[in-house]
Structure 1
Amino acid sequence: MIVHTPVIVLKSFSYGDTSLIARCFSRDYGKINLIVKGARSKRSPKSAQFQPLSYVDVIYRNKPNRELQVLSKVNFRESWPRILQDLRSVTLSMAILEMTEKTLSEEDPHPGLFNTLADVLRAFNEKKADPNILFWFYECALLTHLGFRPNLDQRELPGIVLPDPNSGPNSGIILAGLLAENIHDLPAELVTPEDRQIISNYLWILMRYHFDGLAKIRSMAVVRQILADS
């Protein structure tokens, strides 16, 4: 079957002498692995097209029960160059990609989450929202779309006592706004240092509780420092 779908590249790495393997989040088929033949040859533009944060349209022949699919064609769909010009934005954006890669199952479509990821990265690029808010917005969306929507009134989960997300001056209001899933109407309340600490800690505890392996993401120590200090 010939597949034509937009994808966001989560990570890529060398394969053989001239090729790449790109792990991508596709809108229609979930997480997929593509072999990009010849991408690392000098005359090929495909290496640039399959860097993390790339948003491209791909065509490939899907072979069921095959772990790697062979790319046929690719075209840029949209680019977000300004993310790479800001250390805070690129750090948070790359952590979002890594969280997505670690939490999604292979070929398990989540088109709503895909659209949210594109919206969040676009907002990072346009610099029209607080990067902290965008990062928390995506954490809330990831939890929600994968079946673990936070309940701000719930104090316990099996085996764990949750911190009170409403204990900051505005933390509860901000989290409720983020859970509304409207990126065009993000919370406008003042985020105090206490709010930052509470929101960041609350969402990260939920992420680690529901998804195995997230604690091993090395970049999260830096990300949590950014979220607490910004």
Structure 2
Amino acid sequence: MALLESEAFVLNGFRYGESSKIITLYSKEFGKFNAIVKGVRNVKARHSGVYENMNLIKIFLNKKENRSLQVISKAEIIKQFECVKSDLDKLAIGFSMLEILNKTSEEYDTAYNAFALLKEVFEKLENLKTNFGLILLYYLYKLSLVQGLDFLSYIENGTFVRDSAYKISKEQAEYLEIFRDNDISGISPELIDGNDVKYLCKVLFGFYSMNYNKFNFLKTNNFLNEILNM
């Protein structure tokens, strides 16, 4: 049987046995799924660095429908996002976006737009010089659109209808409308004041917490609190 191939982000992974690794991938073709990579931690393994968290890779696999762990036959690095990994603030935001997608998506929910969005924001974050929180805000809002929740549809007269503690101004709502109508390449890093970015991230985190039970337990919360003063 011919191997299937797809681009995929490595969301996370952990050691398994003496030489293998179990990873969670979000792929362009199949959505999110778990897989095992056998022998990748052997000293002589040539591709051990391929499966690091945050890498964008091309995977080859013989996908089986009833298998809880798919077996990756081989993989190639497409991009490692070295600038993101070498900057602590960028790294925290990058890991947060991976964790957010992992917490809010189901296995094999093939949302191509979710993959495309993740690729878009990582490409922008890799080259951005300032206001990294803008990327997180853009991602939080656009992901709500991809998942059919559209945060703005929950706002009435500037108030989040499911929790009156969250209010946004007309100007803040207009920022999100700009996000809705544009991709990240058309948005200036100076578009939104840093304080507005932090506040809107906080509001959107509250929004996600109400829609996804797992969202309250993000491992990256402490890092985000330091960056965004949330």
* Cα distance change, pair 165–179 in 1 and its aligned pair in 2 (3 A): farther
Write the distance in 2 (CA, Å) between the matches of 1:128 and 1:113. 25
Partner of 2:101: 100
Report 1:84-163 matches (<5 A).
Answer: 84-127=85-128, 130-151=131-152, 153-154=155-156, 155-157=159-161, 160-161=163-164, 163=166
Distance 2:51 2:132 in 1: 24
- Partner in structure 1 of residue 168 of structure 2: 165
Give secondary structure in 1 for the equivalent of 2:166: coil
Partner Cα separation in structure 1 for residue 211 and residue 106 of structure 2:
14
Counterpart position of 1:32: 33
Q: Tell me by how many angstroms 1:156 deviates.
A: 4.6
Specify the alignment match of 2:82 in structure 1.
Answer: 81
Measure the CA separation in 2 of the matches of 1:68 and 1:33.
Answer: 5
- Larger deviation, residues 29-38 vs 210-219: 210-219
Residue by residue over 1:118-175, the C-alpha shift from the partner in whole angstroms, topping out at 9 and shown as x without a partner, is 11111111125631110111111221111111126433545x33622216xx423322
Greater displacement, 45-54 / 171-180? 171-180
Q: Using the alignment, how far apart are the partners of 2:169 and 2:79 within structure 1?
A: 38
Report the number of matched residues: 225
Q: Which residue of 2 aligns with 1:189?
A: 191
| Cα distance change of structure 1 residues 88 and 80 upon mapping to structure 2, 3 Å threshold | same
Q: Which amino acid aligns with 1:182?
A: D
Q: Residue 55 of structure 1: CA displacement?
A: 0.5
Distance 1:181 1:129 in 2: 20
CA distance in 1, matches of 2:81, 2:47: 17
TM-score normalized by the length of structure 2: 0.90
Q: Deviations along 1:50-89, whole A, 9 cap, x unmatched?
A: 1111111001011112110111121111221111111100
8-17 or 183-192: bigger deviation = 183-192
TM-score (norm 1): 0.90
C-alpha distance in structure 1 between counterparts of 2:87 and 2:138, whole Å: 19
* CA contact 2:137–2:197 (8 Å) conserved in 1: no
Q: Hey, which bits of structure 1, 4+ residues long, moved more than 3 A?
A: 155-158
Q: Which runs of 5+ in 2 are unaligned?
A: none
Task: Provide the C-alpha distance between the structure 2 equivalents of 1:192 and 1:81, rounded to a whole number of angstroms.
Answer: 25
**1:16 lines up with 2:17 in the alignment:** yes
Which residue matches 1:45?
46
Alignment gaps of 5+ in structure 1: none
SS across alignment from 1:107: coil
For 2:55 and 2:145, the matched residues in 1 are separated by: 24
* C-alpha spacing 1:134/1:50, structure 2 compared with 1 (3 Å): same
Query: Over aligned residues, Cα RMSD in angstroms?
Result: 2.0
**In 2, distance between residues paired with 1:122 and 1:186?**
14
- Contact 1:175 1:199 survives alignment (8 Å): no
User: In percent, how many aligned pairs have the same letter?
Assistant: 21
